[in-house]
Amino acid sequence: MTDRRHFLIGAAATLSAAFAPRLAYARAATERRFVFVIQRGAADGLAMVLPTGDPAHAALRGAWAEDAAAARRLDAMFALHPALAGMAALYDGGQALFAHAVASPYRDRSHFDGQNVLETGGAAAYAVRDGWLNRLLTLLPREDARAIAVAATVPLALRGVREVASYAPSALPDASGDLMSRVTQLYAGDAQLHALWAQAVQTRQLAQEAGGDAGRNAAATGALAARLLAPADGARIAMIETGGWDTHAGQRGRLGTQLKALDAMVSALRTGLGAAWGQTLVLVATEFGRTARINGTGGTDHGTATATMLLGGTVRGGRVIADWPGLTRLYEDRDLTPTTDLDALVAGAVAGHFGIDPARTMATLFPGNRGGRPVAGLIRA
């Protein structure tokens, strides 16, 4: 038999799911914020950060010469895709660092396996069951901050011993203001349900303020993440999923649209964070790169090494770091050869950002990595 209290608990859970699906918190006593933006589908690093100074670049990418001509020159070797205007401004301000010829330990070309390695931090697909971002939470003090995934479900990178959930706009119709008011009054006398309901209402308001489409486009998603991260008692770690990077055909136009959206997301995140941007690190990474040569349908196929981005107020930016292998020495005669370990790059950036011992960070986040040393000097002292 269902009594009144069980009914109210069930009703609260249903309404809370409609307005703030699966919110849960992981705690970290720090003013530093960290955002991981995953590019699902294998983003073409050679098109994002163009090695225009490499003598072989024009022969391999000549069909996209217009993008190369319009790209913002970063140094003698590299230029930034013209769609990334906001990131170019961050670079000018010393708040963007691009790493090239980067790869995880994975050397095959399956999206599922590559993303598993990227998110778990394992040395091979399915070697580790939890996510490196969840393990990062175990290195931080548990006091009064939150971690959140801005995604429909909790991504693998955030799954593990710390309970972390996701927030995504609901497809259900909005409840009327009168209904919201009546339910608030109904729960006012119940300590447990009142707290749960207040939390759901607050998060719903944040989503409504983030944009007219409640976070469904890139800029609104960045603004929503900022709303969740900016408050003194807000989240400290967030993960944002982006898709559509698998550009087998018609890449030039599609990638331009993707990069413009990514740039808008980062710009909205920076604007929304305000002063907190100075305490923020954003990592943008993908599971693997794409082929150096353009295929017969104006696209590229699954590759190996790619480019990774570090953005934010704590980044020692204004530079590109790369042990550049050149485009005449391709991996398996098709891909950019990897020379920088993504695990070591991430461990070094995270350790410097949060002030954690680099060796401990590497061992915790990437337990299968053997002999890799965290990259130093990525974060401002």
pLDDT tens, 64-85? Answer: 999 999 999 999 999 999 999 9
Q: Residue 373 domain-assigned?
A: no
Tell how far CA 132 is from the center of its chain: 13
User: What is the reported pLDDT for 170?
Assistant: 53
In the block, residue with structure tokens 């331009």: 256
Q: Residue 380 domain-assigned?
A: no
Looking at the DSSP bridge assignments, the partners of residue 39 are 242, 286
> What CA–CA distances, in Å, run from 185 to 20, 188, 197?
19, 5, 10
User: What is the reported pLDDT for 180?
Assistant: 61
Q: Residue 379 domain-assigned?
A: no
Determine the Cα–Cα distance for residues 341 and 105; give it in Å rounded to an integer. Answer: 7
Domain count, the chain: 1
Determine the Cα–Cα distance for residues 270 and 222; give it in Å rounded to an integer. Answer: 8
- Annotate 29-59 with DSSP letters as a single string: --S-EEEEEEETT---HHHHEE-TTSTTHHH
Residues 6 or more apart whose CB falls under 8 angstroms from that of 305 comprise 45, 100, 101, 102, 103, 288, 289, 325, 331, 335, 336, 337, 338, 339, 340
Residue in 207, 185, 189, 180 with CA at minimum distance from that of residue 23:
207
Q: Residue 375 domain-assigned?
A: no
Q: How confident is the model at residue 18 (pLDDT cuts 50, 70, 90)?
A: very low
Q: Residue 108 domain-assigned?
A: yes
Residue in 16, 330, 34, 342 with CA at minimum distance from that of residue 203:
16
Residue in 84, 72, 47 with CA at minimum distance from that of residue 299:
47
Supply the range of the domain harboring residue 209: 4-365
User: What is the reported pLDDT for 372?
Assistant: 84
Q: Residue 377 domain-assigned?
A: no
Determine the Cα–Cα distance for residues 150 and 224; give it in Å rounded to an integer. Answer: 8
Q: Residue 189 domain-assigned?
A: yes
* CATH number, residue 82: 3.40.720
Q: What is the arithmetic mean of pLDDT over 32-59?
A: 97
Angle of CA points 197, 221, 380, to nearest 5°: 105
Angle between helices 191-210 and 4-19 (to 10 degrees): 20
* Structure confidence by residue, pLDDT tens digits, 314-325: 999 999 999 999
Determine the Cα–Cα distance for residues 123 and 117; give it in Å rounded to an integer. Answer: 7
Tokens of 358: 């680099």
**137 phi-psi bin (left φ>0, alpha ψ -120 to 50, beta other):** alpha
Among the residue ranges 48-57, 208-217, 354-363, the one predicted with the least confidence is 208-217
Among the residue ranges 79-88, 139-148, 152-161, 332-341, the one predicted with the least confidence is 139-148
User: What is the reported pLDDT for 190?
Assistant: 77
For 101, the 3-state DSSP assignment is: strand
Q: What is the arithmetic mean of pLDDT over 7-28?
A: 36
H or E element in which residue 80 lies: strand 79-80
Residue in 324, 216, 307, 310 with CA at minimum distance from that of residue 255:
307
Q: What is the pTM of this model?
A: 0.82
As a residue count, the chain comes to 381
User: What is the reported pLDDT for 176?
Assistant: 54
Determine the Cα–Cα distance for residues 71 and 56; give it in Å rounded to an integer. Answer: 17
In the block, residue with structure tokens 């990334």: 84
Residue in 97, 51, 47 with CA at minimum distance from that of residue 78:
51
Q: What is the arithmetic mean of pLDDT over 257-285?
A: 97
Q: Residue 376 domain-assigned?
A: no
H or E element in which residue 219 lies: helix 218-229
Q: What is the arithmetic mean of pLDDT over 149-164?
A: 90
Whether the Cβ atoms of residue 37 and residue 283 lie closer than 8 Å to each other:
yes
Determine the Cα–Cα distance for residues 109 and 112; give it in Å rounded to an integer. Answer: 9
